[in-house]
Structure 1
Amino acid sequence: MPSILYSNSPLKKNKLHRIGFLSGAGVLELEKYFTEELQKLGFTEGKNIHIEKRLAQPNSTDGSIMAAELAQMDLSLIVVGSLPFALEVRKNNPQMPMVLATCPGMVSNGFAKSLPHPGSIYTGIDELPDGITAKRLQLLTAAAPSITRIALISATPGIGGHEIQLLEAEKRAATLGVAVKSYRVASLPQLEKALDDLLRDGMNGMLTFQGALTLANRKRMVEFAAQNRIPAIYQQAVFAEDGGLMAWAPDLAQQFRQAAHYVDKILNGAKPGDLPVKHPEKYYLTLNNTAASKIGVRFSQQLLAEATKVVE
């Protein structure tokens, strides 16, 4: 059971606070961004905080096992780096407070009554502001105007997140004059099958929804798109940095820094349910010129001007 007592009293700097941290091992820097921000806020490992850190390997059951383990520890709260981990923690201990550094659908998955007033023992960052999927679709068709059939690879877990993104994509596709088809996946074998299926279906464009599975297997996604000359837009900048065509994405590192600020407030007496859930502060366009050249795409000057980063 969690040991924290919520109050308005200041943090006792000489008290050792115990928290958990569970994220995927696919993007190791995220744990570093979180702990570095905690240090800036005055927390020193072994002095006034102890973090039970767990990093789950991609495409494994490690996350479920680690979530169950952390859920039963005497911790003030757990910081989780993906929705599946949060669902596992809640299943194993519904009384454990959590900060969700990333979540596609805080309300639809029952972690908040509303974004401004979560009202429970959870808070964090919701990665699905209105229009995000529609914007990705618009950017992809602007980069590759010849595409007509776009595969929507959805690894979004839980409730509501997939449906929100699909509805946005379908509405925007109708105005852009393209067809879209979703391929929902929850494991690496399902992802591999979806890639085979979209080729057979004659899809000539690809867009990935929010989801840890595609992020963990980003190199496979990027290689597939390059080999088959399929223009694709992704949900995190690291895809484009690793050779993908383009990404419209939030600053994932900043989300984990923000998670540290939530922890600071909670350990200082705030109730998680009183801390508003936030959307990422800003989304950024990353373009990869090398990837574009390989598949015959030429970015317009307008797209290049909009880009935050261009990988050469």
Structure 2
Amino acid sequence: MAALGQIEGRDYVLVERYGDGEEARLSSLAAELVSLDVRLILATSQPSVAAAARITKTVPIIGRLNDDPVENGMAKSLARPGGNVSGIYSLAEELIPKRLSLLKEVAPSARRVGVLLRHDWPNEKRAWQTAEVAAKELGLELVALNARSAGELAAALDGAGPKRIHGIITFRNSTVVTNLKLIAEQCRKLRLPAVFDAREYVDAGGLMSYGPNIDAIYRQLARFAIKLLKGASAGEIPIEEPTKFELVINRHTADAMGIQLSPDLLASADRVIE
């Protein structure tokens, strides 16, 4: 906002609420914000977008949309959402083939890939279909690891050895996002190469991520916020795609796991954590 000439306290007031990793709290926090008569809600995750959308149909909601907003009914179309939700669609599903190819590059002998997912998540079926097509082209077999809690995630990863799983990818959902640190640490401990969709996992010790640049997404959302503060309707602001993507590699994790990273891969990374 500052980069766009907006000064906090003069042009806007920021009221923050955090779920602290507890998805069940999000609806009550959204209701609290609505009761404070906020002009708009910026939701930083798919679960928080969904929670806010359940609470209000009038207060504009913008955010980082990980599930296809047309597919899940939040928008009539990307060009003209029509309701009170807009934002940046992060293409989580569309980038699955790229993440699988990166996994194959760092683990060329891999044959079976575990997919951390939730069978009850709205876009899980479509994401699986996308992953299956890409996996077939790469000569990989996918193994669904269904988990709805931290305990189930840990158990799924612990069982990777007996299931002869050689690598991990994740489908973005509230369970995975809430427990990203656990997933990153377990994959490192078990020496399971994993490619994630966002750099938060790599910052937490994960091996690698490929996805939209988070800072760039929030710069885009700042423009949305200014439009809304000036009276625009969220339903008339087109949902955008990210403008910048990044490959982030944790070289320290690779060394700890005994993974040799090629010079070409390291050179192509936007950020390498040493």
TM over 0.5: yes
Give, as a single letter, the amino acid of the residue that structure 1 aligns with 2:28: I
Query: Greater relative contact order (Cα 8 A, min sep 6): structure 1 or 2?
Result: 1
Are the aligned partners of 1:246 and 1:287 in contact in 2 as well (CA < 8 Å)? yes
Q: How big is each residue's C-alpha offset from its partner over 1:262-284, in whole Å with a ceiling of 9 and x where there is no partner? A: 01011112221221111111221
Q: 1:67 to 1:194 in 2, by over 3 A?
A: farther
Q: 2:216, 2:120 → 1: CA distance?
A: 22
Deviation at 1:129, TM superposition (A): 6.2
Deviation at 1:230, TM superposition (A): 0.8
Deviation at 1:130, TM superposition (A): 6.5
**Structure 2 alignment gaps of length 5 or more:** none
Deviation at 1:127, TM superposition (A): 1.3
Q: 1:256 to 1:213 in 2, by over 3 A?
A: farther
Give, as a single letter, the amino acid of the residue that structure 2 aligns with 1:144: A
Deviating beyond 4 angstroms after TM superposition, the runs of 4 or more aligned structure 1 residues are 155-158
Equivalent pairs, count: 274
Name the structure 2 match of 1:147.
Answer: 110
Q: 1:126 to 1:154 in 2, by over 3 A?
A: same
Q: 2:93, 2:54 → 1: CA distance?
A: 29
Q: 1:55 to 1:129 in 2, by over 3 A?
A: closer
Q: 1:65 to 1:77 in 2, by over 3 A?
A: same
Name the structure 2 match of 1:269.
Answer: 231
Are the aligned partners of 2:216 and 2:244 in contact in 1 as well (CA < 8 Å)? no
State which of 95, 98, 105 in structure 1 corresponds to 2:68: 105
Structure 2 residue matching 1:117: 3-state secondary structure: coil
Deviation at 1:139, TM superposition (A): 0.7
Name the structure 1 match of 2:255.
Answer: 293
Q: 1:40, 1:293 → 2: CA distance?
A: 38
Give, as a single letter, the amino acid of the residue that structure 2 aligns with 1:237: R
Q: Calculate the TM-score normalised by the size of structure 1.
A: 0.80
Q: 1:94, 1:308 → 2: CA distance?
A: 39
Q: 1:157 to 1:272 in 2, by over 3 A?
A: farther
Percent identity of the aligned residues? 30
1:155-174 alignment, distance < 5 Å: 159-160=122-123, 162-174=124-136
Q: Calculate the TM-score normalised by the size of structure 2.
A: 0.90
Give, as a single letter, the amino acid of the residue that structure 1 aligns with 2:153: L
Q: 1:245, 1:254 → 2: CA distance?
A: 22
Q: 2:35, 2:71 → 1: CA distance?
A: 25
Q: How big is each residue's C-alpha offset from its partner over 1:205-238, in whole Å with a ceiling of 9 and x where there is no partner? A: 1012223543342321122112211111111113
